[in-house]
């Protein structure tokens, strides 16, 4: 891992993370299973290590919702899930 990969890309408040954690984990694990790769789980605290291509998708979602009205987060996640990975 190089220094750029190790940099923190986004920090979310706990309540915002909890709004997206389960659905993003389920989506990523579904895709990992389809590729025959071991699935993962989110740690209860601290940083969340994610495979780089999945991490990019997660960062873009996190950037989009990090300061939005909490009422809109579930809609943003649904819209994000409606996109194919290449569009994310």
Q: What is the pLDDT of residue 4?
A: 56
In a domain, 1, yes or no: no
In a domain, 56, yes or no: yes
Q: What is the pLDDT of residue 43?
A: 83
CA–CA gap between residue 27 and residue 61 (Å, rounded): 13
In a domain, 68, yes or no: yes
In a domain, 14, yes or no: no
Residues 43-60 pLDDT 10s: 887 777 788 889 899 999
Global pTM? 0.81
Over the chain, what is the mean pLDDT?
A: 88
In a domain, 6, yes or no: no
Query: What is the torsional sign of CA 35, 1, 18, 82?
Result: negative
- Considering its fold, how many domains does the chain have in total? 1
Domain range for residue 29? 19-36+47-88
In a domain, 65, yes or no: yes
In a domain, 51, yes or no: yes
Q: What is the pLDDT of residue 49?
A: 75
Q: What is the pLDDT of residue 1?
A: 47
Q: What is the pLDDT of residue 9?
A: 85
In a domain, 41, yes or no: no
Q: What percent of the chain has pLDDT over 70?
A: 93
């Amino acid at each position: 891992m190089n220094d750029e990969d190790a940099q923190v890309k986004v920090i979310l408040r706990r309540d915002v993370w909890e709004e997206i954690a389960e659905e993003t984990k389920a989506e990523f694990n579904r895709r990992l299973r389809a590729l025959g790769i071991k699935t993962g789980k989110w740690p209860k605290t601290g940083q969340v290590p994610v495979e780089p291509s999945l991490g990019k998708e997660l960062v873009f979602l996190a950037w989009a919702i990090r300061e939005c009205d909490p009422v809109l987060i579930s809609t943003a996640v649904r819209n994000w899930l409606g996109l194919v990975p290449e569009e994310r």
